[in-house]
Structure 1
Amino acid sequence: MTGKIAAEWKRSKHSYALLAPYFLLFLLFTVVPVAVSIVISFTYFNMLEFPRWIGWHNYERLFLEDDVFIIALKNTFLFAVVTGPLSYVACFVFAWMINELSPKIRALLTLLFYAPSISGNIYFMWQLMFSGDAYGYVNGFLMKIGVIYEPVQWLTDSKYMLAIVMLVQLWLSLGTSFLAFIAGLQNVDKTLFEAGAVDGIRNRWQELWYITLPAMRPMLLFGAVIQITASFAVADVAIGMAGFPSANYAAHTIVTHLIDYGTVRFEMGYASAIATVLFGLMVGINLLTQRVLRRVGE
């Protein structure tokens, strides 16, 4: 066994040398911080005193005493269940449709769809639309057609807040996954469609299920990881639209709860416990999603 490992190392030493810088950076800035955070989650650490071991107390406090965390957990799951699948399907559908167009039009539409995810002050337009006075576009339109008779406080009313944040997140969701799907569709081997026609595939839906999706499986898995991570890690949209903290914690998420304890209260042990729970949720959902996607086209 040792001889085989040595022979493999010698044969692939140039590949390992090229991978070494990335592996080192990944180890230093991803693996080590995650491991340190997990350890700190079992301590009391306020950034002024040396961490003091308290065992499972942070997790007991998190699930048994912290009512706001339970609200954040519910909001995050609701957010992920609604926006995750919708944005994932939207990314693929738009990529599939745009891929059928001419190269120049495809390039222009790709830029237009991707632009919101890299724009600067992305919330100004939505804040103007859902402004709580009569000058807000939504209020003005609904009052003009007689649906409402006085302005609705969209961004401070807990009944509407989370839905508006979800809407904005969906608008922003055509990002990295969208580009990955475009690239994947461009690289599907065209001879597979000819072979499929010989084997009895007769329409575009059969081509999509039996050829396109299996050929794009790596991109589909990558897109799933990106979309799940984005849906569980939402914070900027919630803070930008609903404030920090939001009224009645209606748009509070796990990440905004983490920001509260990590950067405002400096309870780093408790914040690390929140981060560890979020990390576990992301890993579990990603593994489940990848297991489902591996069956696509079978």
Structure 2
Amino acid sequence: MESSSSSYKGHKKSIGNWYKKNYIGWLFILIAVVGISLFYFYPMIRALLLSFQSGMGSNLEYVGLDNYIRLFSDPTFIAALTNTFIYLLIQVPVMIILALFFSVLLNDATLKFKGFFRTAIFLPCVTSLVAYAVIFKYLFGVDGLINQFLLDLSLISQPLNWLADPVLAKITIIIAITWRWTGYNMIFYLSALQNVDKSMYEAAKIDGATSFQQFFYITVPMLKPIILFTSIISTIGTLQIFDEIMNITNGGPGNATLSISMYIYNLSFEYSPDFGYAATVSYVIVILVVVLSLIQFKVAGDDK
């Protein structure tokens, strides 16, 4: 009996010691858990519930899947979805390729002023979204510097109305996004390249591998996890694009440059407020992010 009692006391004491050692840590993470739950998970759940409701202001009622069914017959949503996919399919690959090119170029040990060039390419991503969007609006205006430059080179005979043409307006948006975010992705690739063993390139040179072969058979495979990461975050960012559309074209001409995020804004604040349908459209972005991320993981061959 004494042995059993002493064993129980020892077990109780060990549990007490464990709590004493860990309760401070739990107190530290409790604030973060509460904050994340309150400002992240709760809004997500409320938005999901809201997507099944319809009405104006606080006069909402549950309508089941009506909002989701409405998506398929909403021409404005279809236009916004199409535009967003155009940005995604063109801009993201171009940006990833440019970021890879600049990172490899600026990782060359023989290149002078590397710090200056790295800073110059990275700086756009720390500028104000609104400020740079407004600058691009003026650059691509009828009397802007881009038209003046093209006229001086005799590439065009008269100024192009970039922001009033559906195709040119999309091109302007794609150029603006690429200019801003290429340097951001480049930094990830540069960081990864710093950890690639130089002896691998030296061995490849000895075996007669060209620079292109070294890039495709050494650099790209070594950067595969980073390429996957930047592709996913770039996809998420493009699906949520708003500031550039709002400040450069305001979704025009017509709905030629309207994005999903801007359509959500219009549904909530510009048109007759329909928060239920806006929440439904917002969950389309969630679904697209999940599906496209899974596809990218599958294509990259990452099953973990």
Q: Scaled by the length of structure 2, what TM-score is found?
A: 0.79
Q: Which residue of 1 aligns with 2:226?
A: 219
Contact residue 242 and residue 251 of structure 1 kept, 8 A:
yes
- Cα offset for 1:124? 4.0
The 1:88/1:74 distance shift into structure 2, 3 A limit, reads same
Corresponding residue for residue 58 of structure 2: 48
Counterparts in 2 of 1:142 and 1:174: CA distance versus 1, 3 Å? closer
Does structure 2 retain, via aligned residues, the 8 Å contact 1:177–1:226? no
Aligned to 1:5: none
Q: Structure 1 length normalisation: TM-score?
A: 0.80
Gaps of 5+ in 1: 1-9
In structure 1, the partner of 2:174 is 166
Counterpart position of 2:91: 83
Q: Which segments of 5 or more consecutive residues in structure 2 lack a partner in the other structure?
A: 1-17
Q: Is the 8 A contact 2:134 2:247 kept in 1?
A: no
Residue 36 of structure 1 aligns with which residue?
46
| Contact 1:221/1:290, CA 8 A, preserved across alignment | yes
Aligned twin of 2:292: 285
Q: Kindly indicate whether the alpha-carbon contact (under 8 Å) linking 1:44 and 1:269 is maintained by their aligned counterparts in 2.
A: yes
Equivalence for 2:140: 130
CA distance in 2, matches of 1:197, 1:147: 44
Tell me which of 239, 249, 258 is aligned to 2:255.
Answer: 249
Task: Provide closer, same or farther for how the CA distance between residues 104 and 41 of structure 1 changes in structure 2, counting only shifts above 3 A.
Answer: farther
* C-alpha deviation, 1:199, in angstroms: 11
Q: How far off is 1:71 after superposition? A: 0.8
1:292 to 1:60, Cα distance in 2 relative to 1, 3 A: same
Q: Which residue of 2 aligns with 1:274?
A: 281
Match of 1:115 in 2: 123
* Alpha-carbon distance between aligned partners in 2 of 1:143 and 1:176, rounded to the nearest angstrom: 32
2:106 is paired with a residue whose SS is helix
Greater C-alpha Rg:
2
Alignment partner, residue 202 of structure 1? 209
Name the aligned partner's letter for residue 33 of structure 1.
P
The 2-side partners of 1:149 and 1:192 are apart by 52
Q: Which moved more, 1:23-32 or 1:161-170?
A: 23-32
CA contact (8 A) 2:133 2:243 kept: no
Cα separation, 2, equivalents of 1:281 and 1:80: 11
Q: 1:176 to 1:270 in 2, by over 3 A?
A: same
Q: 1:151 to 1:212 in 2, by over 3 A?
A: closer
Give the counterpart of 1:92 among 97, 100, 107.
100
Q: Is the 8 A contact 2:53 2:276 kept in 1?
A: yes
Q: How many residues align?
A: 280
The answer on whether the counterparts of 1:224 and 1:290 sit within 8 Å (CA) in structure 2 is no
Name the counterpart of 1:60.
Answer: 69
Distance in 2 between the 1:26 and 1:190 partners?
A: 42
1:261 to 237, 262, 267: 267
* Aligned-partner Cα distance in 2 for 1:19–1:223: 29
Partner Cα separation in structure 1 for residue 55 and residue 206 of structure 2? 64
Q: Which AA in structure 2 matches 1:87? A: M
Q: 1:220 touches 1:293 (CA, 8 Å); kept in 2?
A: no
2: CA distance between counterparts of 1:24 and 1:87? 37
- Indicate the percent of aligned positions where both proteins have the same amino acid: 23
Deviation at 1:253, TM superposition (A): 1.0
Aligned residue identity for 1:58: N
The answer (yes or no) to whether the contact 1:42–1:54 under 8 Å persists in 2 is yes
